[in-house]
Amino acid sequence: MLRGKRVLLIISGGIAAYKSLDLIRRLRERGADVRAVLTRAGEQFVTPLSVSALTEDKVYTDLFSLTDEAEMGHIQLSRNADVLVVAPASADILARMAAGMANDLATTVLLATDKPVLAAPAMNVRMWQHPATQSNLEVLRDRGVMIVGPNEGDMACGEYGPGRMAEPLEIVAEVSNFFQTASGPLAGRRALVTSGPTHEPIDPVRYIANRSSGRQGHAIAMALAEAGAEVTLVTGPVDLPEPPGLTTVGVETAREMLAACQSALPADIAVCAAAVADWHVADAADQKLKKADGQATPTLALSENPDILATLSKSGPERPAVVIGFAAETEDVVAHAQAKLARKGCDWILANDVSPAVGTFGGDRNTIHLVSPDGVEDWPTLTKRDVGRRLVQTIIERGPFAE
């Protein structure tokens, strides 16, 4: 995956810079060409000579070196790369990147580049946790900078916590993953996935919910991203980490979920895996409902929620080319799914049995029947991850983008 890829490695100041020497070796042994820029602070930790010995190339350090500018200007440095990797990325260089500064060769290259950038932060745990660093990261992430790490552990400064630079092989994996994604079969396609339950408030402390864990929806979103799609995952409250490499939007209610889906359009692919509540409490109380002696038990009046799948399936310029829904049933699974396919107007339904005895909710496995206008295909019981992969494979092979 890395053969012939050109990596411009920017080494900023930090004790983790010694690991970047190993990173150069690891990238090169996988066939990548590595050219390095060393900041002034970086030079305090590793010498240009060791970097140059490992890249077998000149090391670029100075913005105003006449020979460098004559041989290879800062614009050329980024033009000649397929990806820029900042490792270690100190708190200082992240701040300068976020502010758009160009006060040395490294930041000038980073500001001038139109190439993807991956940063591997490394710093003291308090510097990492500082709101300034966190907000710089948010800015950078929003601009599409990929971040790997930091890891948690003992730090050179004697403290313990997040701040250790990701290991060289983790950074290599991230770079490889990027190239795989960029050339994946769904590269250039946008996908929208809903996942998890919705929470419909009764009052500020109580809500109506369901047992969806979000595992299946999240696995589908990850599989789509692995195939190169640009994925927006709209998820209700779940106890799962945000999957890397995609945009996650957290919502609570069905109405919020619909709004988030609509703002994620246009999309080529939509998969509605969320267990959306059918109703919300009509007049949710602003204050906590109180139990008082002698008062009647309150009754909840419910109003219908919008149907996100049916809304996305409606024909129109914004309709995704393929819209896929789920049918979680406890009996007559396939028959109900066929009726749902027609009612919702989607292209395919993945029907599954969610009877308590089957253990689909919160479990790791799922037994799917793919229901389409062409018929029913029974899949074997698979892990939710493999269901995600199989669905993506089916979209690639039989979806509207198939050749």
Contacts of 308 (CB under 8 A, 6+ apart): 194, 254, 257, 258, 261, 272, 274, 276
Whether 128 contacts 121, CB under 8 Å: yes
Q: Which of 149, 196, 197, 325 binds ligand C5P (CB under 6 A)?
A: 325
Q: Distance between CA atoms of 275 and 262, rounded to whole angstroms?
A: 18
Q: Which of 307, 337, 338, 388 binds ligand C5P (CB under 6 A)?
A: 307
Q: Within a 10 A sphere around the Cβ of 402, how many other Cβ atoms? A: 10
DSSP structure class, residue 204: T
Q: Is 272 in the site for ligand C5P (CB under 6 A)?
A: yes
Which range binds ligand C5P by CB under 6 A, 117-125, 153-161, 205-213, 273-281? 273-281
Q: Closest separation between CB of residue 304 and ligand C5P, Å?
A: 8
Q: Is 254 in the site for ligand C5P (CB under 6 A)?
A: yes
Write down how long the chain is: 403
Residues 336-355 that bind ligand C5P (CB under 6 A): 340
Whether 325 contacts 272, CB under 8 Å: yes
Q: Is 327 in the site for ligand C5P (CB under 6 A)?
A: yes
Cα R_g (the chain), whole angstroms: 25
DSSP structure class, residue 383: E
Q: Distance between CA atoms of 163 and 143, rounded to whole angstroms?
A: 22
Q: Which of 270, 308, 370, 371 binds ligand C5P (CB under 6 A)?
A: 308
Q: Is 326 in the site for ligand C5P (CB under 6 A)?
A: yes
Question: Is 272 among the catalytic positions?
Answer: no
Q: Is 251 in the site for ligand C5P (CB under 6 A)?
A: no
Instruction: Single out the residue of 265, 205, 215, 206 nearest to residue 236, CA to CA.
Output: 215
Residues 188-217 that bind ligand C5P (CB under 6 A): 194
| Nearer to ligand C5P (CB atom), residue 260 or residue 272 | 272
Q: Which of 27, 274, 392, 395 binds ligand C5P (CB under 6 A)?
A: 274
DSSP reduced 3-state for 96: helix
Task: Select which of 157, 261, 272, 346 is catalytic.
Answer: 157
Name the site residues for ligand C5P (rule: CB under 6 A): 194, 254, 272-274, 276, 305, 307-309, 325-327, 340
Active site residues: 157
